[in-house]
Amino acid sequence: MKLALVGATGLVGREMLEVLTERQIKVDEFIPVASARSIGKKINYMGKAYTVVSMDEAINAKPDYALFSAGGSTSTEYAPRFAAVGTCVIDNSSAWRMDPDKKLVVPEVNGHILNGQEDIIANPNCSTIQLVVALKPLHEAYGIKRLVISTYQSFTGTGAKAVEQYEGERDGKATHSYESAYDHPIFENCLPHCDVFLDNDYTKEEMKLVHETRKIMNAPDIAITATAVRVPVHGGHSESVNIEFEKSFDIDTLKAILHNAPGIIVQDNVKDSIYPMPKFARKKDEVFVGRIRRDESIENGLNLWIVADNLRKGAATNAVQILEHLIH
């Protein structure tokens, strides 16, 4: 198997390398790709050093699979060129997610739609992935009518530049010594602004939660509203999720459903202050769910707190799980 990793030097790319290694994904040829400034650098994979090459060189090598995490415009331009030489691209950017001809996949939720014939498969947005892993079993049991989502998203989701800004501010460095990823300070701050603003005054990140959730769950009629907030937190994204179900539920049965669902760890014992926290989600591949309680203000309402490592299940792990689904 020939595997290309596009964006191998980036935050998600490096996490993908780790996940591939942990899961012992064996390759005959490994092809790390990055921008022109990184060509020639060495990347280690399973004890062997590989040289970072250009996009064109990687396309010429005709890899069987390419994991892409190098930004939307790079994916828009290059994913079809890889597909044209027979490569199956698993793309972490937002470029292909809402294309009606491309599958948007979270293996625990809709892995069954993959048939091995795909040219480009889209990996969903980080905050959507952890959300749908928790929601899918509940939707099957009770039918979700409406969702109100508030996110608390790690700055690591913005990439290496945001980490530099956070560390620069934390360490009191001169502002000209690092590049800023955000319009405002992120250290000791919260930014109700993830990705760009759209014409409806929501951010693109908020609308990704709306559209991607409906597509992955094959549930176009769920009413969804979201507020996405960037927080100075390492380790993962957190989400406060309010759900209105079609059907009534028994809270103990609902907790048991979550407990038995794939990819979820329930951490919910408030007497002992046990609930999910991003600090302890780092490097974990599961989605953590807690603060499971009835919303007493409406009929059939529920509140959840959902946490996952945005670089792992929110990006690298999910992409590698898609790859595993295809090669096994």
Answer for which of 2, 18, 23, 38 binds ligand A2P (CB under 6 A) is 38
β-sheet bridge partners, residue 288 = 265, 307
Q: Does 13 participate in binding ligand A2P (rule CB under 6 A)?
A: yes
Report the residue number, 10 or 107, with the smaller CB distance to ligand A2P: 10
Nearest of 96, 100, 50, 51 to residue 75 by alpha carbon: 96
Total residues at the site for ligand A2P (CB under 6 A)? Answer: 17
Report the distance separating Cα 170 and Cα 191, nearest Å.
16
Q: Does 318 participate in binding ligand A2P (rule CB under 6 A)?
A: no
Query: Is residue 190 among the annotated active site residues?
Result: no
Element (H, E) at 320: helix 317-327
Structure tokens at 178: 């690092």
Structure tokens at 281: 């989600």
From residue 61 to residue 100, the character string flagging contacts with ligand A2P as x (rule: CB under 6 A) and all else as - is: ---------xx--x--------------------------
- H helix intervals, 71-196: 72-84, 107-110, 126-142, 160-170
Report the distance separating Cα 133 and Cα 152, nearest Å.
17
Q: Out of 88, 211, 237, 259, which one is annotated catalytic?
A: 237
Inter-CA distances, 91 with 82, 120, 276, Å: 11, 7, 28
Q: Out of 88, 126, 139, 194, which one is annotated catalytic?
A: 126
**Rounded to the nearest whole angstrom, what is the least distance from the CB of residue 33 to ligand A2P in the complex?**
6
Nearest residue to ligand A2P by CB is 10
Answer for which of 160, 257, 265, 326 binds ligand A2P (CB under 6 A) is 160
**Rounded to the nearest whole angstrom, what is the least distance from the CB of residue 93 to ligand A2P in the complex?**
10
Query: Is residue 88 among the annotated active site residues?
Result: no
From residue 100 to residue 129, the character string flagging contacts with ligand A2P as x (rule: CB under 6 A) and all else as - is: ------------------------------
DSSP 112: G
Report the residue number, 41 or 294, with the smaller CB distance to ligand A2P: 41
Structure tokens at 57: 């060189």
Element (H, E) at 152: strand 144-154
**Which amino acid is present at 9?**
T
**Stretch of 9-17, 103-111, 213-221, 280-288 contacting ligand A2P, by CB under 6 A:** 9-17
Residues near ligand A2P (CB under 6 A) are 7-11, 13, 33-35, 37-38, 55, 70-71, 74, 159-160
Active site residues: 126, 237
